[in-house]
Every structure is written in structure tokens, then in C-alpha cells.
Copies of this chain bind each other. A is one copy, B any other.
Amino acid sequence: MTEETTLLFEKLNHFFENRKFADLRILLIDMEPADIAGFMEGTLEEKEMIKFFRLLPKELASDVFVEFDADTQELLIRAFTDKELKAVIDDMFLDDTVDIIEEMPANVVKRILKNSDPEDRKTINQLLEYPDDSAGSIMTTEFISLSSSMTVETAFERIRKTGVNKETIYTCYVTDRKKHLIGVVSVKELLLADKKELIEQIMDTNVITAHTLEDKEDVAQKFSKYDFIALPVIDKEGCLVGIVTVDDAVDVIQEEATEDIQKMAAILPNEKPYLKQSVFSIWVARAPWLIFLLITSTFTSLILSGYEAKLAPVFLAFVPMLMGTAGNAGGQASVTVIRAIAVDDVRFRDIFKVILKELASALLIALALGVVCFAKLMLLDNLFMTPKITVDQALIISLVCMLSIVLAKLIGCTLPLFAKAIKLDPAVVASPLMTTIVDAVALLLYCAISIAAIG
């Protein structure tokens, strides 16, 4: 939070506490909705919330409302009269209403739907039916549509008449009578064109679209690739049913990155901001993978207990180092490939390129690590170890270190690609699971080689 904002928040609080509501409103009118919501949630008690919300300038109320957390929204809806609820809902974009409905308990949803216009209610119900991760679930149905036979002048008239409640007016969609999407034209093009020109002369007919059921992550990638501010969404019949705006794409990109990071760290995805997560929900997100990984570690215990008696004591001391190095090396490869798949830099057909690149770099890395490992054993560890590590032993340990790096890299880079190919989530399969496999492989290699060489 900047100093400026802190100061502003203090002023708000002062005016509110001292009931200087006129001054308060003057401050509020010029503020960003997100900041007002931030102030209310960060400063006010539950009871003051509704009082403060009623003081908001009418045109700001629903803009602020959509910025609240689901908990605050529920609190307010329960406190609203039907009239207040209707006013807020009528002013919201339909995709925002749908987002809110998805978070509310059934009785609140009922009240929201009861207080919506019949026409809106129909659209809301349609939007609610799209799967959670689809383009349909994040689109809005409020866009500007034009017909190809309009002139630029009539197009502007239409924008002026229907634009107030649209989420974006800057990209206009040209449809035929059956609502098939036949072109797009931007307000920039309209402004720079002659008033008498026909829309069909200036519209762009090669339109990049999304399908209602397309994964929202793929839709977000299109924004990142093509620099759009809105993307039209069409149904099976090619009819335009909605648009996704860039602000929603930004949210998807943020959420998907967070989700991938969580999965790579063996956490079940959790969409809530950290400080809003309950202790129980943290438990639910984290315990399952820990339990799974604990149980799969049976492999390493078995390997170790099987070989333990035969393994020279000096080798045992370096088990954590070898398993750690193999795990880190494999993790580097798997995380890199997982992210490359997520941002669409790598596909399954690139698998041989990936393997070659990883193999070549793994050999170089193994070489460097092998030399460092040998030097470390002889020079650093031997300062403290009794009995001293012999040259033969150091050579064996370094060799296993190098071998397990190469193996770990190969396992790490191929697992995510295979996961993707069989439509599993690369981040889940390849990160926590990779560790289990690499651990067992590195340990087995170590025991086998060191016993064979010395024994």
C-alpha cells in the first residue's frame, strides 16, 4: 500500500466515524472501486459494512460490490433489502453476477435470481451451465453487435444507444441475421473511417474466436499471443454468444500460474487468497500429497534396509546428498518442461528435441557436478570425516552423483510430456511423482554400484 493510499484510508475512516457523510462521499466519488472495497474489508467491522455500503454513490455501489471477497458479498446480500439487492444486481455485468452466484449458498442464490430481471435470469442460468474451466464460464453476454450493412455513422449511433451497459465497446462484433459472427471492427477503425463507409468495407473478416467449451487457460493464452482486449466466444453453430474481456484473461493467467505453482509443490489447488484460507482448508490442500509421498517413500526405506548391512558406513553418510542432488536436478528439468507446456512453448511432438536438449545439458551439468563432488569429498568432507574418504570411494560417489543427475533429468523432462499426451495434468504428475521415482532410482543406483565396486 502506498503512503498516499494509507492517508486516504485514514481520511475515509475519520469522516465515517465522525458522521461527515457529505465529505466522505466527495472522497469516494473519485476513488477506484477496488480501493474502496479494500478499505471496507480492511478497516470496518461487519456491522459498519452495510452502513458504509449504503453511503456509496449509486453509480459506484455495484462496481465496489464485485470487488469484495465472497464472504463480504454474502454478508451484505443477507443484510440488503430486496430493493437494494435488485439495484446492485441490475447494475452488474452478467458475468460478474454469475461469478458471485457460484460462490454463494443455495438460499442466497435463490434471492439473487428472484431479484434479477426475467431476461437476465435466463442468461444467468445459461452461463451457470458452462463447465467451470470453460470460456463460457468467464464470458459476458453484453457486447456491441453491428450489422454489415450499417454505415459508420449508424454504427456510432448504435454504440451510443447501447454502449452504456457494455463491458467493452471498443471491439464491435458484426453478425448476420442468424447471429453468426461474420466480422469485427474496432472503435479505432470506426473513428478513423469516413462516416458514410459501410461496416462490411472496413470490418476484419478473419476473426480469432474461442468456443464456449474451450479451456479458459487456452483462451487466456490467445490474449497473451495476439494482444487482444476482447475475444468473441461462439457456440457449436458458430453463433456469437459472448465475449471474454482482457481483465478476465489477466485473472485467469494469474490463477493458473498460482495453481501450477501449488501443484508443483504438492498442494491441491486452492483459489482463495492465502489470508482468507481457513486452517482446515489448508489441511485439506496439503495433507493428501504429504501422505501419498510418505507412503511411496516405502520404496526408499526398503532399498536402504535391504542394502544397509552390505553398504560401507562411509557411503551411508552421503545418501541424503545424492538423493537431494538427483531430486533437485530432476526438479529443474520437470519444472522447466511443465512451464513450457503451460505457456505453449512445447508440445508432445517436440519430445525428441526436449530429450536431446536435456541429455546434452545433463551431461555438461553432470560433468561439473562430478568434479565439484569429488573435490568436495576429498577437500571439504575429509576435514571432518574419520576415517577419511579414500580416492576410490570419492570416485564411486561422484560417479553415482553424475549418473543419477543424467537419469533424473531424463525422467524429469519426459514425465510431463507423457502426462500431457494422456491428458493428465503435467504439473501434478510430474512434480510430486517425479521425486518419488527419482529418489528410488538414485538410491538403487548408489547401493548397487557402491556395493559392486567395493564388495
Q: Is the interface of A mostly helix, strand, loop or mixed?
A: helix
A163 to B: closest C-beta gap in Å: 6
List residues 299-331 of chain A with CB under 8 A from any CB of chain B: 300-302, 304-305, 308-309, 313-314, 316-321, 323-325, 328-329, 331
Query: Shortest beta-carbon distance, A403 to chain B, in Å?
Result: 15
- In this assembly, does A390 line the interface, its C-beta being within 8 Å of a C-beta of chain B? no
What does the 1/0 interface line of A244-258 toward B look like (CB < 8 Å)? 001101110110011
Known contacts: A169-B191, A229-B229, A321-B301. The answer to whether A275 contacts B345 by CB under 8 A is yes
Q: Is the CB of B266 within 8 A of A337?
A: no
Which of B205, B225, B274 has a CB less than 8 Å from the CB of A30?
A: B205
Q: Looking at A291, A294, A302, A385, which has the most chain B CB atoms within 10 Å of its CB?
A: A294
Q: Which residue of B lies closest to A187 (CB)?
A: B187
A171 to chain B: closest CB distance in Å? 10
Chain B CB within 8 A of A453 CB: no
Q: Is A360 an interface residue when CB atoms closer than 8 A count as contact? A: yes
Contact B295 A372, beta carbon cutoff 8 Å: yes
- Report if A223 contacts B (CB, 8 A): yes
Does A448 lie at the interface of the complex (its beta carbon under 8 Å from any beta carbon of B)? no
Give residues 318-352 of A contacting B (CB, 8 Å): 318-321, 323-325, 328-329, 331-332, 335-337, 339-340, 343, 345-346, 350
Across the interface, A321 reaches (CB within 8 A) one of B282, B294, B373, B435, namely B294
* The 4 residue pairs across chains A and B that have the minimum distance between CB atoms: A30-B206, A257-B257, A227-B247, A305-B317
Add 16 more A-B contacts to A34-B226, A286-B365, A304-B319 (CB < 8 A): A30-B204, A223-B247, A246-B250, A257-B261, A260-B261, A274-B346, A275-B340, A275-B346, A275-B350, A277-B357, A283-B361, A286-B332, A291-B369, A294-B369, A302-B381, A305-B314
Query: Chain A residues in contact with chain B, CB under 8 A?
Result: 30-32, 34, 156, 159-160, 163-164, 169-170, 187-188, 191-192, 204-206, 208, 223-227, 229, 246-247, 249-251, 253-254, 257-258, 260-262, 264-267, 273-275, 277, 279-280, 282-283, 286-287, 289-291, 293-295, 297-298, 300-302, 304-305, 308-309, 313-314, 316-321, 323-325, 328-329, 331-332, 335-337, 339-340, 343, 345-346, 350, 353-354, 357, 360-361, 364-365, 368-369, 372-373, 376, 380-381, 384-385, 401, 405, 432, 435, 439, 443
